[in-house]
Structure 1
């Protein structure tokens, strides 16, 4: 099976590497051939356009930044739907709204192309060790055909139902990511404002009911060491929680904590933090309270 890949950023490039490591034949398209060079050195073949990629591959994977990118890559005049062969299967790993996934599924189906919304959770480290959670919506028979490939990058791969189901599950996950990020940030800033040792407070919280995977991730890997290189960038979590809030509101919920999280991530973006890790949402909160959540070098006290 020839696998095509569009979107070889932080996540996509790692997915390509895992597929190559399992001896799959992988073709990649990037706007810049130079960007594809490291993947070529690993064994991937570079293809110079989306139409060419679509025509040569049996399975097409996309891992893009924004819903608009997904729509353009699939439905644009030089996109996948117009150029892929009948019977091609598409896997979209991007986090988009359910309406986007359903729309692309319908357009692709009319052309004899199968489309699965397959967003992932677990970050770059999840790709590297093959432990991603993959949430899939679409046709089950198609899902079963590509399940061995999904298991190359995913430790937990679940088929959830019709087109859009994977995207709905991912947005619910991202809602919790955003809300937990804000709550963890506020809690740690409050502790620092009242003079508590941030590392000591964190060590207490992570063995108490206030513990969460986000609290541990943010404090252990980013905040306490004041290192905010992504990871998952602020701008993407802002996009995700905005889409999640729309989903929740459509379900009848009007006043939700996600609205506060959306405002916090929006403020972080407005402060120029959009390309930093999502844990950097704490920075404007620290500034407002005039404290810094960090490790204290007790040897200097």
Structure 2
């Protein structure tokens, strides 16, 4: 199957999904989309991207089906059942779930897909809205190497750091490791900014110094400046970060692993959500500190 001729179906047009679809379309792929709220996709339709009326319709017309939805329950809804992807996909199709979801769910999808003659990959991403726009996402993949190699040209459009981590579920486990890292880092970024302010420093100049040293991170370079501008628009929603951290905590507990940093960050973000910030970007965490 020549990838330039693969017809792609994309389900879920959120903050990141929309940019991912645009990048695929610009590279010449035929892309059809479906999302529960068609109004959110009107700008894409005006750009020449095609609409499907249901998951089943999109699946039947596609060679590669990419999903980027919100929660594990959403993943289950689009993959399973008589109207889902697995029941309606053509034999030999490639299914790529780029949602951050449960590793066991990724394994379940893989097994059911295999029984239907389908190829399944779990391929969650990191890089937020900026990475999605620039096509520089980190893509963490679980599944078979043959499937990975076949769709790698598609991944190359969407990301710049693409690694097959292991069998089904390995991509999700890698993404949870990523989220555990970010969780504690976001607390540190907030504390550093508040410390700089209390010390009478210019926090922007402080960021200029520390972001290129040993403290450097994506959050420090990209989200801390948004904090200083009081720009809380979502590159990644608070509510979705809570979802990811909850899955990570549950997975860690299943392995008997204690994660105090993750526990603290999750409790803080839950407090932030209770304050009405669940639809804000994760950088809104600074609001709990800057009082």
**TM bucket normalised to smaller:** over 0.9
Are 1:219 and 2:224 matched, yes or no? yes
Are 1:233 and 2:237 matched, yes or no? yes
- CA shift for structure 1 position 282: 1.3
Asked if structure 1 preserves the Cα contact closer than 8 Å seen for 2:252 and 2:259, the reply is no
Are 1:124 and 2:129 matched, yes or no? yes
Which residue in 1 is equivalent to 2:3?
Answer: none
Q: Which of 149, 152, 162 is 2:154 aligned to?
A: 149
CA distance in 2 between counterparts of 1:30 and 1:183 reads 36
Deviation string, structure 1 residues 113-146 (Cα, Å, up to 9, x no partner): 2110011111222122221111110111111111
Q: Which of 229, 242, 249 is 2:246 aligned to?
A: 242
Q: Which of 257, 268, 272 is 1:253 aligned to?
A: 257
More off after superposition, 161-170 vs 36-45: 36-45
Which residue in 2 is equivalent to 1:57?
Answer: 62
TM-score, normalised to structure 1, is 0.90
CA distance in 1 between counterparts of 2:191 and 2:199 reads 12
Are 1:274 and 2:278 matched, yes or no? yes
Which residue in 2 is equivalent to 1:31?
Answer: 36
For residues 150-229 of structure 1, the aligned pairs below 5 Å read 150-220=155-225, 222-229=226-233
The residue matched to 2:276 in structure 1 has which SS? coil
- CA shift for structure 1 position 33: 3.5
CA distance in 1 between counterparts of 2:38 and 2:229 reads 36
Are 1:283 and 2:287 matched, yes or no? yes
Deviation string, structure 1 residues 80-122 (Cα, Å, up to 9, x no partner): 1121122111111100121111111112222222110011111
Deviation string, structure 1 residues 257-290 (Cα, Å, up to 9, x no partner): 1110111111111111111110111111223xxx
**Structure (1 or 2) with the larger CA radius of gyration:** 1
Asked if structure 2 preserves the Cα contact closer than 8 Å seen for 1:20 and 1:42, the reply is no
CA distance in 2 between counterparts of 1:285 and 1:85 reads 52
Which residue in 2 is equivalent to 1:6?
Answer: 11
Structure 1 unaligned blocks of 5 or more:
288-301
The residue matched to 1:156 in structure 2 has which SS? strand
The residue matched to 1:8 in structure 2 has which SS? coil
Given the superposition, is the C-alpha separation of residues 155 and 53 from structure 1 closer, same or farther in structure 2, using an over 3 Å criterion?
Answer: same
The residue matched to 1:115 in structure 2 has which SS? strand
Q: Which of 22, 36, 45 is 1:40 aligned to?
A: 45
Structure 2 unaligned blocks of 5 or more:
1-5
Given the superposition, is the C-alpha separation of residues 110 and 218 from structure 1 closer, same or farther in structure 2, using an over 3 Å criterion?
Answer: same
More off after superposition, 90-99 vs 74-83: 74-83
Are 1:20 and 2:25 matched, yes or no? yes
Asked if structure 1 preserves the Cα contact closer than 8 Å seen for 2:142 and 2:172, the reply is yes
CA distance in 2 between counterparts of 1:125 and 1:199 reads 20
